[in-house]
Amino acid sequence: MDACLIDVSLREELPAAARGDRLAYGRIIALCQNAVTGIALAITRDVHASEDIAQEAFLKGWRQLPTLKNPDSFLPWLREITRNLARDHLRARRRQPMTGEAADLAILLAADTAPTPAERLLHTEQEAAALDVIAALPEDSREVLLLYYREGQRTPQVAQLLGLTDATVRKRLSRARQYVREELMARFGEFARGTAPSAAFASAVLGMLAVAAPPAAGAAVISGSGAVAGKGLLKLFGLSAGFAAAGTLLGIGAVWFGIRTQLRDPLDGRERRALLAYGVFNTTLILAFIAGIGWLSGVPGWLPHALLTAAYVAGICWASSRWLPRILARRRQRDLLQDPEGTRERMRRQCRWQTWGLRAGVALASLGLLAGLVMSGRLSL
């Protein structure tokens, strides 16, 4: 996107987003996600942590968006939120000693002198080169350099997203090139582009907004999504089909977004096959639920619909809370050995989001079922 269009797009989308329009905020996320993840990565030097922090920054921005009076203040405000969260993350890592399960695991693995597959797959050459570049540069140059490659090497966009002049961006790029050898810079560019958040990142954040929606905007979010997505499917099964259809693409995108990092760099073929099976299972489950809702539209009574919804919710909960942790167990063992504090912090954050996500999913599925049963006349309150 042209740099001058970034401001125009933000001014167009922010008023609607402040009123609770999730789709408008999703377009804002797509505009800013490279900048926010890049700022977090420049500070933390950790791709996984940078994406977690970026999600938290966008969610915090969503909750506080109605308080923002001037649209032109949005980008500086969001950048400051991101930097504060990233620095809090670093401080939390420094304060946390390795205790409990992490310490026990480290002792256990240290006692085993045979190299494991996880130990042989530490960092790729590209990642190691990128970490060398990041370590060699001051923080402001890291931000500029990461965003320069993620934004297609266009300095006007970088300047706009970071609140700088084009001349300042060019000066910092020139300074970065003085610090870093040419061959390292090329590998860093590949790393920056390869770790940039995909379109699924915005979908995943949008999926969390049902939990984090501002009180004033919550009604608009729910009614808006139901009205838009439900038009073509209300005939099938009332409002529940509308809720289901609205969440189909979002749910599938969130499934694959949740495992995109591990799929990009699997420990081995075994983990990759298991992750693909997990993604296909959840995608199939979501599509089967939508098809089942449509098929049951001609079945009288409320029990079949309740049983289908219960089976769907149980399947999603089992896959997320039981199957996926087993798939990732070996990876977590490796990460705990290499970076116990950071890994424990990521695991806690992921556990919190998983818990809230499952609660929100169960609540929305139950509300959609109840609304559909009432509107179709199958159930009287």
Q: What is the DSSP string of 220-287?
A: HHHHHHHHHHHTTTHHHHHHHHHHHHHHHHHHHHHHHHHTHHHHHS-SSHHHHHHHHHHHHHHHHHHH
Q: Is the pLDDT of residue 317 over 80?
A: yes
Task: Judge if 149 and 280 occupy the same domain.
Answer: no
Q: Residue 108 domain-assigned?
A: yes
Confidence band, pLDDT 50/70/90 cuts, at residue 357: low
| Mean pLDDT in residue range 85-108 | 62
Is residue 25 a contact partner of residue 62, using CB atoms and an 8 Å limit? Answer: yes
Alpha carbon 77 to its chain's center: 20
Taking phi first (over 0 means left), then psi (-120 to 50 degrees means alpha), and beta for anything else, what does residue 163 get? left
Is the pLDDT at 104 greater than 60? The verdict is no
Distance separating alpha carbons of residues 53 and 40, to the nearest angstrom: 7
The tokens describing 231, both together, are 């038009």
pLDDT of residue 372: 66
| Last residue of one domain, picked from the residues 194, 222, 251 | 194
DSSP conformation class of 196: S
Q: What gap in Å lies between CA 14 and CA 68, rounded to an integer?
A: 9
CA distance 366 to 306: 9
Report DSSP letters for 109-155, one per residue.
HHH--SPPHHHH-S--HHHHHHHHHHHHS-HHHHHHHHHHHHTTS-H
Q: Any idea what the CATH number is for the domain that residue 63 is in?
A: 1.10.1740.10
Q: Residue 109 has what pLDDT?
A: 36
* Residues 47 and 195: beta-carbon distance below 8 Å: yes
CA 366 from centre of chain: 25
| Mean pLDDT computed over 207-220 | 49
Least confident interval from 104-108, 163-167, 322-326, 342-346: 104-108
Report how far residue 169's alpha carbon sits from residue 172's, in angstroms, rounded to the nearest whole number: 5
pLDDT tier for residue 274 given thresholds of 50, 70 and 90: very high
* Shared domain check, 50 and 118: yes
pLDDT at residue 20 in the model: 85
10 and 100 inside one domain? yes
Entry pTM = 0.56
DSSP state of 200: H
Does residue 213 form part of some domain? no
The residue that leads in pLDDT, 372 or 238, is 372
Same domain (yes/no): 189, 239 = no
The total of other beta-carbon atoms located within 10 Å of residue 265's CB is 16
At 17-30, the pLDDT tens digits run: 888 888 889 899 98
Residue 208, token pair as written in the block:
């969390």
Q: What is the pLDDT of residue 323?
A: 92
In the predicted model, is pLDDT for residue 177 greater than 90? no
Does residue 381 lie in a domain region?
no
pLDDT cut 90: percent of the chain above it: 14
Rounded CA separation 16/237 (Å): 30
d(CA 299, CA 291): 14
Contact (CB, 8 A) for 320 and 358: yes
Q: Which pLDDT score, from 0 to 100, does residue 76 have? A: 92
- What would the two tokens of residue 342 be? 């950071």
Q: Read off the tokens for 346.
A: 């990521």
Of 249 and 41, the one with more pLDDT: 41
Q: Which of 266, 147, 158, 150 is nearest to 198 (CA)?
A: 150
* Structure confidence at residue 85 (pLDDT): 94
Residue 259's domain spans which residues?
A: 232-375
Same domain? For 176 and 312 the reply is no
Averaged pLDDT of the chain: 75
Q: What's the pLDDT at 87?
A: 92
Residue 70 pLDDT class (50, 70, 90 cuts): confident
Same domain, yes or no: 284 and 170:
no
Look at the chain and report how many structural domains it folds into.
Answer: 2
> Residue 175 pLDDT more than 70?
yes
Mean pLDDT of 97-120: 42
pLDDT at 132: 65
If asked whether residues 182 and 283 sit together in one domain, one would say no
Structural domain includes residue 204: no
